[in-house]
Amino acid sequence: MSHKILNGKKGIIFGALDHNSIAWKTAEAVVEAGAKIVLTNAPIALRMGSINELAEKTNSPLIPADATSIEDLESLIIKSTEYFGGKIDFVLHSIGMSINVRKGKHYTDLNHSWMTKGWDISAVSFHKLMQVLFKNNAMNEWGSIIALTYIAAQRTFPNYNDMADNKAYLESIARSFGYFFGKEKNVRVNTISQSPTLTKAGEGVKGLQSFLKYAEKTSPLGNATAEDCAKYTVMMFSDYSKKVTLQNLFHDGGFSNVGVSQEIIDSLE
């Protein structure tokens, strides 16, 4: 990417765990586009993942924060604004986790305490994050906040389990909080609904490999990769998308608007 469309902009990237993470690719892309960033993830992910390597590569500080803890989020925002010497222009929420998916619990037999924990991490954390940013007046005017989501929020994908419900909740929070962030601070809030992607979180979904092939055959442009998603996010953090807000933006090679593709019909005949 040769255009420095994020020159002078400062932002926080949540959720880079390893080389495959969508947030990892996004961190690399925003820095390449001229931005300065703070990286953050849950304390346990900092111990398990390889995020130190990314921090070194992007020359960014790494500040641990459990996204379900208001205390951690407040400390992260204070430390980040101190580091930047001013307010924040963009934030990426790239966080998802379902204990039910991990442990192979069927949707008709969910453990509801795990469901609540997954909901808190995958959806409510987005509200907590925005509430801390809002109350601390930490975002610059015309800033941009993005969370990553999946089409299972609108359509049924049996193996996506309780993550489907979490994503529906996440997308609703984007619209509800986005209204107030727009009205009072001129900050935009959107979700990007990404193609299935092979990552640590993606791996947990039963039958992902076959589903990747199905989505590839269904999407006229093929599946969007993590790198493609990173580039789209760069645009959404730039001044080229100033008036886009409260949207769920499908970034999926066209998958969301296809009923059935010829390749799928051919494969069944």
Ligand X SMILES: NC(=O)c1ccc[n+]([C@@H]2O[C@H](COP(=O)([O-])OP(=O)(O)OC[C@H]3O[C@@H](n4cnc5c(N)ncnc54)[C@H](O)[C@@H]3O)[C@@H](O)[C@H]2O)c1
SS3 state at 12: strand
Q: Does 150 bind ligand X (CB under 6 A)?
A: yes
Q: Does 94 bind ligand X (CB under 6 A)?
A: yes
Give the one residue of 11, 15, 118, 253 binding ligand X; rule: CB under 6 A.
Answer: 15
Using CA atoms, how far apart are residues 259 and 121, in angstroms rounded to an integer?
32
- Which positions ≥6 away from 108 have C-beta within 8 Å? none
Q: Does 118 bind ligand X (CB under 6 A)?
A: no
Q: Does 139 bind ligand X (CB under 6 A)?
A: no
Binding-site string for ligand X from residue 29 to residue 68, where x marks contact by CB under 6 A and - marks none: ------------xx--x--------------------xxx
Nearer to ligand X, 199 or 218 (CB): 199
Nearer to ligand X, 121 or 139 (CB): 121
Give the one residue of 39, 148, 174, 230 binding ligand X; rule: CB under 6 A.
Answer: 148
Give the one residue of 38, 121, 130, 146 binding ligand X; rule: CB under 6 A.
Answer: 121
Using CA atoms, how far apart are residues 113 and 100, in angstroms rounded to an integer?
10
Using CA atoms, how far apart are residues 171 and 190, in angstroms rounded to an integer?
8
What one-letter code names the amino acid at 71? E
Smallest gap from Cβ 42 to ligand X, in A, equals 4
Give the one residue of 6, 11, 21, 100 binding ligand X; rule: CB under 6 A.
Answer: 21
Strand-pair partners of 37: 11
Footprint of ligand X on 177-196 (CB under 6 A): 194, 196
Using CA atoms, how far apart are residues 108 and 114, in angstroms rounded to an integer?
14
Give the one residue of 91, 115, 146, 201 binding ligand X; rule: CB under 6 A.
Answer: 201
Question: Any idea what the Cα angle at residue 251 is, between residues 131 and 255, rounded to 5°?
Answer: 130
Give the one residue of 175, 185, 200, 217 binding ligand X; rule: CB under 6 A.
Answer: 200
What one-letter code names the amino acid at 243? K
Using CA atoms, how far apart are residues 198 and 147, in angstroms rounded to an integer?
18
Using CA atoms, how far apart are residues 49 and 204, in angstroms rounded to an integer?
16
Using CA atoms, how far apart are residues 44 and 64, in angstroms rounded to an integer?
9
Cβ atoms of residues 246 and 189 within 8 Å: yes
Smallest gap from Cβ 69 to ligand X, in A, equals 8
Smallest gap from Cβ 125 to ligand X, in A, equals 6
Catalog residues that contact ligand X under the rule CB under 6 A.
14-15, 17, 21-23, 41-42, 45, 66-68, 94-97, 121, 148-150, 194, 196-197, 199-202
